[in-house]
Amino acid sequence: MKSSASFRKWVVQSPPVEFLLEHGSAAVKDVLLGALRHGPVPKHIAFVMDGNRRFARSKRQEVTEGHSAGFEALARILEICYKIGVKVVTVYAFSIENFKRSRSEVDNLMDMAKMRLGQLAQHGQLLDKYGAKIQLLGRREMIRPDVLETLDQAMELTRHNTKAVLNICAPYTSRDEMATAIQKTVVQYCQPLRPRLRRPFSETHIARQIEAGRIKSLERATSGMPESTRAMESTEEEDYVYKPSTPGTGAVYQDILQAVESLLDEAADENTATADEEVIAGATSSILVYLKDITLSQEEKLIEVRDILDFDLSDAQLQELQSLADKLTDYQTKTAVSESTTLGNNGEHANASPRPPLPPMYPDIENIDENTLTSHTYTGSDAPPLDLLIRTSGVERLSDFMLWQCHQTTEVRFVDCYWPEFGLWHFVPIILEWQWKQNKETSGASEN
């Protein structure tokens, strides 16, 4: 018994073995990852980092310690991923549903994210070594503002990196992502098309030219051209100014004018400039254009109106203006008006009764397809398709993660260990099997 112990000691302390033990594991890892790099490698891997809490419970630790261990596991896996050449890693850090957890746990998670990302941001160079860029996918506005600030710093610091991407999904659910993608698509298709006024040629003019060419000689026919194009340009430049058409809307319009004037006065106190009537009317018209645009969100409207007034107005003030603007029932959108006026101007129907305003031109909804929606997801259309989705802790469901991205050719792997335990020896077999399958498919394809 004693001799075997001393023998083991002798072996362990012998120079070659000692050297191997000290540097061996790192060397083995390097060779292994270097070898993996030489096969096909998934371009995009997603992880559901599940089991931090159960890991902590099984070790009789605090939940926070479990999350810390999870963060270390993430760092470990990221290094492996980037070393073997994975381009995009997407991790599920925080679900919108997680806000339903205990207040203290949510706060702890936020504190940890802030501290870790703060550290990350302070060591910008360390991230550079893998050339990885951090991106945040999810509902930004739900994150605590102080945490968001550190997150933004981390993203800013790594923005110039192009070799790899780390997508942090927080606070994220896939249904929310898909709903947002549909919403953004709808918004995109509600942007009126620029009416075809930009082209300097007019159809009626061309028709007239042809007619003239038939009847008269060519020299006399070319005389009308410059005049008509000038007319086109002038209508194009003209800004739409709203004029109330009924007494009721006239009163509302006066209210709006007064509201804008008082706002301008407030702004003037700050900027030391006074506004005359013409300026007020002009500002009101341009504010109305934005307030009446249904495709703009409340925030976008706020930004635009602030821009016009050069004044930091509050949400309540915008609400007030909006409610006034909603009462103007005879308002026409800018494009509709400009379209109808230009048609009236350059056509031969100038003397005819005024046409009903044309509805604004919208893009054809039949052009919406899968790619449109994909381009509006958080991952966007630039990210390579998801090759592999790995979920730890033995739960065999997707739990609202990457549904849109993973429901086609992605291989989903459920691993039966807690996330903090997930490491090289769990990960490498998965990659190997993926490579093996990939090799088989390519050789099968070449045989056929």
CB of 400 to another protein, least distance (A): 5
Report the C-alpha gap between 17 and 31 in whole angstroms. Answer: 18
Contact flag: residue 399 with another protein (CB under 8 A): yes
Report the C-alpha gap between 433 and 291 in whole angstroms. Answer: 57
**Selected binder of another protein within 101, 108, 189, 357 (CB under 8 A):** 189
Q: Where in 25-44 is the site for another protein (CB under 8 A)?
A: 31-32, 34-39
Residues 30, 50, 326, 364: which is the catalytic one?
50
**Selected binder of another protein within 237, 269, 276, 369 (CB under 8 A):** 369
**Contact pattern for another protein over residues 44 through 73, marking x by CB under 8 A:** ------------------------x-----
Q: What are phi and psi of 392, to 5 degrees?
A: -95, 180
Contact flag: residue 372 with another protein (CB under 8 A): yes
- Based on CB atoms, which residue is closest to another protein, 324 or 406? 406
- Based on CB atoms, which residue is closest to another protein, 38 or 216? 38
Secondary element (H or E) of residue 133: strand 132-137
Q: Which residue matches tokens 């790899």? A: 164
- Based on CB atoms, which residue is closest to another protein, 252 or 373? 373
- Based on CB atoms, which residue is closest to another protein, 266 or 400? 400
CB of 329 to another protein, least distance (A): 13
Q: Which stretch, 98-106, 187-195, 235-243, 246-254, contacts another protein (CB under 8 A)?
A: 187-195
Contact flag: residue 424 with another protein (CB under 8 A): no
Report the C-alpha gap between 403 and 207 in whole angstroms. Answer: 55
Cα dihedral sign for 180, 50, 61, 68? negative
- Based on CB atoms, which residue is closest to another protein, 370 or 447? 370
Report the C-alpha gap between 83 and 75 in whole angstroms. Answer: 12
Residues with Cβ within 8 Å of residue 269, at least 6 apart in sequence:
none
**Selected binder of another protein within 230, 396, 425, 448 (CB under 8 A):** 396
CB of 218 to another protein, least distance (A): 45
Pull the structure tokens for residue 303.
Answer: 């930004």
Helix spans in 272-388 (H): 277-291, 298-309, 315-326, 334-346, 370-375
Residue type, 159: R
CB of 129 to another protein, least distance (A): 5
Contact 384, 216 (CB under 8 A): no
Pull the structure tokens for residue 144.
Answer: 């605590």
Beta partners for residue 157, in sequence order: none
CB of 286 to another protein, least distance (A): 22
| Whether 315 is catalytic | no
- Based on CB atoms, which residue is closest to another protein, 220 or 397? 397
Q: How far is CA 9 from CA 13, 156, 258, in A?
A: 6, 52, 92
**Selected binder of another protein within 105, 152, 176, 421 (CB under 8 A):** 176
**Selected binder of another protein within 141, 219, 237, 370 (CB under 8 A):** 370
**Contact pattern for another protein over residues 214 through 253, marking x by CB under 8 A:** ----------------------------------------
Residue 347: which of 337, 339, 357 has the closest Cα? 339
CB of 369 to another protein, least distance (A): 6
Q: Where in 96-155 is the site for another protein (CB under 8 A)?
A: 115, 119, 122-123, 125-126, 128-129, 131
- Based on CB atoms, which residue is closest to another protein, 107 or 236? 107
Q: How far is CA 428 from CA 65, 229, 296, 431, in A?
A: 26, 69, 48, 5
Instruction: DSSP for 32-91, please give it.
Output: HHHHHTTS---SEEEEE---HHHHHHHTT--HHHHHHHHHHHHHHHHHHHHHHT--EEEE
Contact flag: residue 297 with another protein (CB under 8 A): yes
- Report the chain's terminal Cα–Cα distance, integer Å: 63
CB of 260 to another protein, least distance (A): 24
Q: Which residue matches tokens 């305003």? A: 357
Q: Could you count the other beta carbons within 10 Å of the beta carbon of residue 223?
A: 9
CB of 199 to another protein, least distance (A): 24
Q: Which residue matches tokens 């896996």? A: 77
Report the C-alpha gap between 293 and 276 in whole angstroms. Answer: 26
Contact flag: residue 12 with another protein (CB under 8 A): no
**Selected binder of another protein within 8, 156, 436, 442 (CB under 8 A):** 436
**Which residues of this protein are in contact with another protein, per CB under 8 A?**
31-32, 34-39, 68, 115, 119, 122-123, 125-126, 128-129, 131, 160-162, 173-176, 178-179, 182-183, 185-187, 189-190, 294-295, 297-298, 362, 365-366, 368-370, 372-373, 395-400, 403-404, 406-414, 429, 432-433, 435-437, 439
Task: Give the active site residues.
Answer: 50
